[in-house]
Amino acid sequence: MSILVYIEHADGAVKKTSLEALSYAKALAEKEGKEVTAVALGTIDQGALAKAGSAGAAKVLQVEDDKLNAGIIQAHANVVAQAFEKVGADTLVLAKSSLGDAVAARLTIKLNAGLVSNVVALPETDGGYKVKRSIYTGKAFAYSEITTANKILAVKKNAVALKVDGADAPVEKLEVTLSDSDFAAKITSTDKATDEISLPEADIIVSGGRGMKGPENWNLIEDLAKAMGAATGCSKPVSDSGWRPHHEHVGQTGVKVAPSLYVAVGISGAIQHLAGVNASKYIVVINKDPEAPFFKAADYGIVGDAFEVLPKLTEAVKAIK
């Protein structure tokens, strides 16, 4: 038996979240005496794909078809289902992401599989197959039992430690059949800020709120982010007012992030904002109001005016780099 891992890639590199999913699958495979196979869709550099080996894949199946470069959900689900059958897998592991979710959902039906999303730990298998998942936007956990033979596990970002110890994996081409109906949804164009670090993937995020007073002050956020090698985010009112693009909006109704470090500047810490960041490993809060609720969720805090603190902090970070 084997465990199949659906891996996503961006700009020629396997995504970090997919490498985490591979590390998770590898640990699961060791526990269950199985082998890990990765499946990658679209044209992508072989060398980059081989790296999946170091995170735990024994081999990588590549379905090399330009049409799969874009994340057309139906087509991806159909390809992964065929790969699952071909390798004789009984478990599919993937990283929780908006594409991953959508693909996994269709696969539950195609594979007759029980699915658990937002997985944060390896399954407990004595007396049933019990998986720990994060629920209520990080406010609690649930233990869910999967009762079907085939299983799908969508792993939450940063929930498992990344292992990079293996060798490169061999990459094999996989032939699959796809029909026109798999491409019923057509992507007409993409509008992507290519020079930015993607928010859901970022390891450090510097985020600004209404306390930054206006878009003209965002250079202070950007300077700190640059010094830290971080992505930038914002609170909802900031993107609602058009100070920042919508895809930077973090929170309950925006992007959910789980970086190692989240720096929140001039953000009050409303519960809806916290819902998007409470999976961060460390939180730093800079706010002039000592009563700001965000301090309760923070590991480190500075009570002070962002306009005074940020330039100093940026210099101090530069000094150690």
Binding to ligand FAD (CB under 6 A) within 196-225 occurs at: 209-211
Residues touching another protein, count (CB under 8 A): 94
Among 77, 155, 212, 265, binds another protein (CB under 8 A): 77
Residue 58 Cβ vs another protein, minimum distance, rounded to whole Å = 28
CA distances from 115 to 112, 119, 156, 311 (A): 10, 10, 13, 47
- The residue (of 31 and 213) whose beta carbon lies closer to ligand FAD is 213
Q: Classify strands 9-10 and 13-14 as parallel, antiparallel or unpaired.
A: antiparallel
Q: Which amino acid is at 20?
A: E
Q: Which amino acid is at 73?
A: I
Among 45, 46, 67, 184, binds another protein (CB under 8 A): 184
Q: Is 108 in the site for ligand FAD (CB under 6 A)?
A: no
Residue 161 Cβ vs another protein, minimum distance, rounded to whole Å = 14
Residue 253 Cβ vs ligand FAD, minimum distance, rounded to whole Å = 4
Residues touching ligand FAD, count (CB under 6 A): 27
The window from 26-34, 37-45, 195-203, 206-214 that contacts another protein (CB under 8 A) reads 195-203
| Number of other CB atoms surrounding residue 218 within 10 Å | 17
- The residue (of 34 and 273) whose beta carbon lies closer to ligand FAD is 273
Q: Rule CB under 8 A: which of 200-229 touch another protein?
A: 200-201, 204, 228
The window from 85-93, 108-116, 160-168, 210-218 that contacts another protein (CB under 8 A) reads 108-116
Alpha carbon distance 82, 40 (integer Å): 13
Burial class (CB in 10 A: 0-12, 13-18, 19+), 208: buried
Tell me, rounded to whole angstroms, the distance of Cα 270 from its chain centroid: 23
Q: Where are the alpha helices (DSSP H) in 33-165?
A: 46-50, 73-87, 98-110
Residue 89 Cβ vs another protein, minimum distance, rounded to whole Å = 17
Q: Is 54 in the site for ligand FAD (CB under 6 A)?
A: no
Structure tokens, 315: 């210099």
Structure tokens, 78: 């159909």
276 binds, among another protein, ligand FAD, none (CB under 5 to 8 A by kind): ligand FAD
Residue 265: enclosing H or E segment and its boundaries? strand 261-265
Assess contact for 116 and 24: CB atoms under 8 A.
no
Q: Rule CB under 8 A: which of 132-161 touch another protein?
A: 132-148
Residue 193 Cβ vs ligand FAD, minimum distance, rounded to whole Å = 20
Burial class (CB in 10 A: 0-12, 13-18, 19+), 127: exposed
Interface ranges with ligand FAD (CB under 6 A): 209-211, 235-238, 249-254, 266-268, 270, 272-273, 276, 287-289, 292, 305-307
